[in-house]
Amino acid sequence: MLVLMLVGGLIGMVLQFIITMILMPFFGAFEVMIPLSLIGMPAGMMGAMCQPVFGVTYFDVLIIGELYGLLIAYLVYRSNLSLTGTPS
């Protein structure tokens, strides 16, 4: 399982890097980099772990990943609001 987690985390990091490069010109470097860095690796690790342990389907893993991503994006948004007083 440890190997799966590492592989999942690594895939998450690679995807994070590619998506960052694609989205950066539209939304700004840090606005993309910060949420994605908190989503990519952990979501990859969790996904890779959940699949064999809980026997969930790939579709479920995808949905969990998406919900986790949305939650992180919302928390970063709230955090920015409290640090700057303006919406991100």
Residues that bind another protein (CB under 8 A): 23-34, 37-38, 76, 79-80, 83-84, 88
Q: In the complex, what is the shortest distance from the CB of residue 40 to another protein, in angstroms, rounded to a whole number?
A: 9
Q: How far is the CB of 28 from another protein (least distance, A)?
A: 4
Nearest-approach distance from CB 81 to another protein, in angstroms: 10
Angle, CA 87 vertex, CA 81 and CA 88 arms, to 5° = 95
DSSP 55: -
Supply the angle between the helices 29-54 and 58-84 in degrees, to the nearest 10: 150
Cβ distance to another protein smaller for residue 28 or 52 = 28
